[in-house]
Structure 1
Amino acid sequence: MSPFMLRRVLLAGAFACLPITGAMLAAPANAQFGGVVYDPTNYASNVLQAARALQQINNQITQIQQQASSLVNEARNLESLPASTLTTLRGQVESTRALLGQAQRIAYNVQSIQGAFSDRYKGAALQGDHARMIANADARWQDSVGAFEDALSVQAGVVANIGGTRSSIDTLVGASQSASGALQAAQAGNQLLALQSQQLADLTAALAAQGRSQALDAARGAAIEAEARERFRRFRTGN
Structure 2
Amino acid sequence: MSARKNPHRPRGPRSVVALLLALALVAAVLYGADHLLRARAESHLASELRQALPEVSDDLQVQIDGALFLPQLITGRVGSAQVSASEIQIDAFSAHDTHVYLRGIHLREPYRVEHLQVDALAPAQTLQALLAAAGVPDGVRIDLEGTDLTARSQLLGVPLAAVLVPEARGRSIAITVGTIELGGTRIEAADLPDAMTGWLSDLEVELSDLPEPLLLDHLEVRPGGVALRVTGTDVAIEDL
TM-score between the two structures when normalised by the length of structure 2: 0.27
TM-score between the two structures when normalised by the length of structure 1: 0.27
> Which has more radius of gyration?
1
Structure number with the higher strand fraction is 2
